Structures are given as C-alpha cells and as structure tokens.
Amino acid sequence: MTRTLDYLLDRNVAWSLAKTRDDPAYFRRMAEQQSPSYLWIGCSDSRVTANDVLGLDPGEVFVHRNIANVVHTSDLNILSVLEFAIQHLRVRHIIVCGHYGCGGIERALSEERSAMVDHWLQPITMFHRKHRAHFDRLSSRTALLDRVSELNIEMQVRRIATMPLVENAWSRGQDLHLHGWIYGMHDGLIRDLGPHVSSIEERDALPSIDQRVFHAEEPASGLRRHALEAFGSLKLTDDLASPSCCMPDEH
C-alpha cells in the first residue's frame, strides 16, 4: 500500500498560514518574477540550506546543489544553471559554499568505490592522491578533511572562472563576482575562504590550486572580521600603551 506524506502536507499548511499571518503580502511578492543577486553553488547536505544560513527570503538567492559542491565542466545541469543565472537572471555574485564535516569529501578520501558517486567525486580523489605526501603530514583526520574541503572550494571557484560563459560575461563588461565560502556546522557561521574573482585578469593572477596546498590561511567569519575591525579601531592611551607594570625599573 502506498504511504502518503500527509504529515508533511500538514506542516506546509501550518507554514503557509504562519507566513500570511505575519506578512499578508508574502506570497504575492514571491509570485513576482525572481530577481536574485546571488547564485549559490553548495552541497546537497540537508543541514546546509542557502536561504537559512544567509537569512534571505525565497527569491533572493538562486541555488544549485550537488554532492560536495563540485563543478564539472561537462555537467549539463550546472552549466544550464550558470547560463540561466548569468544571462537571464543577471546575478552579480556566484558563491561556491562548501562546509566542514562534508560526507562527500570523506567519501572522496576513502577506499570505497562505486559506479556513480565516486565518478562524481573523482576530481577531489585525484587531487588528494596527487598531494598525499603533504596531506599525510596533517595532524589528524579531521584536519585533513577540513583542509581538503577548503581546497575543494578554491578549486571549484577556479573552474567556474575558466568557463567561456563566465569569460564572455566579463568581456562584455557584466558585473560578475566569484566567491569561495565555507560553512561551519559547529557554530552556524560562514567563513570567507576566497578566492574572489571579478575579471579575467584577476583570474589569471591567481596562484594555481597546487600552490595553494602549501599555503593554508584561516578563513574568517563575519563575526571574527567584526571583532578585528572593532579592536583595530581602538587607540591605546599612553598609560595603556605602556602600563606601569611593564615599564623597566628606573631605581
């Protein structure tokens, strides 16, 4: 006997009523033509949803998701999404956002093999194998998975930047910016990983992804950035800059 999902339909009704109760015009606005400024290319992991982590309403971000946020240049799905986003929606920002604790990255680094998922993850697997001597020096399995997750994002941003579709947009002067981000499951914060690319010249000036293996940088969350800006703006008084407890004894 077919099992229906009535409990999910009931939750939908409750959600719809709550939305219109708080904002009667909500669905009228949503029914209008979407005009997002952002294309989000993220992981299919059910715990990472673009609108939620960005605090944006539906219609404000165009979304493509797949296992481990991989950009295959032969994948008609992602190519179609990119074409529609760039040429029709005229998005200004393309964000590749992965996350720590990614099951796809863990699978890519495992010894298991199957016909489909491992074909999809093969670029990550091969990249890990290429630099295995370096990766094996990392302090723990968690450190390895985190670092490969970060490098995978950087690699996918570079792949998008090489696509003729993106090159053509830049050549005709379209305002288009690529960003690499990573999301922390443990605290709900997005960290700015980079690279940020806005032109062919900036793309061509990037170090290769192979070089980036040896130059790890701590990604900065918005919270950390605000804290650094706040403390960086403080000016110490003479007393604080040279407290008496730290002054040399003149006697």
Q: What are the catalytic residues?
A: 43, 45, 47, 99, 102
Look at the block and give the residue holding tokens 């997002």: 36
Query: How many Å apart are CA 43 and CA 181, to the nearest integer?
Result: 12
Query: How many Å apart are CA 98 and CA 203, to the nearest integer?
Result: 20
Cβ proximity of 69 and 103 under 8 Å: no
3-state secondary structure of 33: coil
> E strands within the chain?
38-43, 61-66, 93-99, 177-183, 190-192, 220-221
> E strands within 44-141?
61-66, 93-99
Query: How many Å apart are CA 119 and CA 121, to the nearest integer?
Result: 6
- 114 Rama sector, left if φ>0, alpha if ψ -120 to 50, beta otherwise: beta
Half-sphere exposure of 181 (CA within 13 A, CB side): 24
3-state secondary structure of 108: helix
The identity of residue 137, as a single letter, is: R
